[in-house]
Chains A and B, each alone.
Chain A
Amino acid sequence: SSELTQPPSVSVFPGQTARITCSGAILSTQYAYWYQQKAGQAPLLLIYQESERASGIPERFSGSSSGTTATLTIGGVQAEDEAHYYCQSGAVGGLYYVFGSGTQVTVL
């Protein structure tokens, strides 16, 4: 299967830790990537190759992976972190990319 499954929503209080999972068989052979998308804006790359932070991304964003599940962790969540978050697999067979279903993070 070439699907990536994410929880539809995650709610967290300011200062707490948010964890967003992304599950799919593809991730056993491909890196995971993570994006943040705020309303009316283009996605922003947060994490590449599973755990590397993209340029300018705060340290509170981190990525990890185990088996077929990748996790984006937001430590010390801030109000500005309220957004949609998407995972993405690297090019499967060098041919196509798959995005996860997306997770809405709500800061309570």
Chain B
Amino acid sequence: QVHLVESGGGLVKPGGSLRLSCTASGFRVSDYYMSWIREAPGKGLEWISYIGGRGGAIYYADSMKGRLTISRDDAKNSLSLQMYSLRAEDTAIYYCARDVRGGFDSWGQGALVTVSS
């Protein structure tokens, strides 16, 4: 059974950093493109980054480019998202999700990140 669990969310001050993790079970993350997607309060979904397949291709959305590092640990079957220079507008629920045929067929429960002084 496919399962994704995010961890690492919390309260961080503006300008601070935070690292989110996503642990997968039921499949190997190295076999799929895996993405991080966020949902800000009262706003819609926004894709922010992926790491993909055996080659480990990486891409970031322009909105957070330069402030994110995505990585994968195949031994732990997990991925991480390191976020830097956080701003109030980065406050959101952050989801990891698996890409199958171009759509996201499995999602974690989300990790809440609150950026506030």
B109 at the interface (CB under 8 A from A): yes
A107 at the interface (CB under 8 A from B): no
Q: Which of B35, B44, B108 has the most CB of A within 10 A?
A: B44
Whether B109 lies near A42 (C-beta < 8 A) is yes
Bin the interface of chain A by size: 20 to 34
B 75-114 binary contact with A (CB < 8 Å = 1; else 0): 0000000000000000000010000111111011110000
**Known interface pairs A91-B102, A99-B47, A102-B45; A43-B107 also in contact (CB < 8 Å):** yes
Whether B61 lies near A96 (C-beta < 8 A) is yes
Whether A31 lies near B102 (C-beta < 8 A) is yes
Q: A88 CA to B109 CA in the complex, in Å?
A: 19
**B-chain residues with CB within 8 Å of residue A33 when the two chains form the complex:** 102-104
**A-chain residues with CB within 8 Å of residue B74 when the two chains form the complex:** none
Whether A43 lies near B104 (C-beta < 8 A) is yes
A45 at the interface (CB under 8 A from B): yes
Whether B105 lies near A99 (C-beta < 8 A) is no
**B-chain residues with CB within 8 Å of residue A44 when the two chains form the complex:** 107
Q: A54 CA to B50 CA in the complex, in Å?
A: 22
Whether B59 lies near A95 (C-beta < 8 A) is yes
**Known interface pairs A49-B101, A49-B103; A43-B45 also in contact (CB < 8 Å):** yes
Q: A2 CA to B46 CA in the complex, in Å?
A: 13
Q: A55 CA to B103 CA in the complex, in Å?
A: 13
B45 interface neighbour in A55, A86, A91, Cβ under 8 Å: A86
Interface residues of chain A, those whose CB is within 8 Å of chain B, are 30-31, 33, 35, 37, 42-45, 48-49, 54-55, 84, 86, 88, 90-91, 95-102
Known pairs A49-B102, A95-B59 / 17 extra A-B pairs, C-beta < 8 Å: A30-B102, A31-B102, A33-B102, A33-B104, A42-B95, A42-B107, A42-B109, A43-B45, A84-B44, A86-B44, A86-B45, A88-B104, A96-B59, A97-B35, A97-B47, A99-B46, A100-B44
Instruction: Report the 4 A-B pairs with minimum CB-CB distance, sorted nearest first.
Output: A33-B103, A42-B107, A90-B102, A48-B103
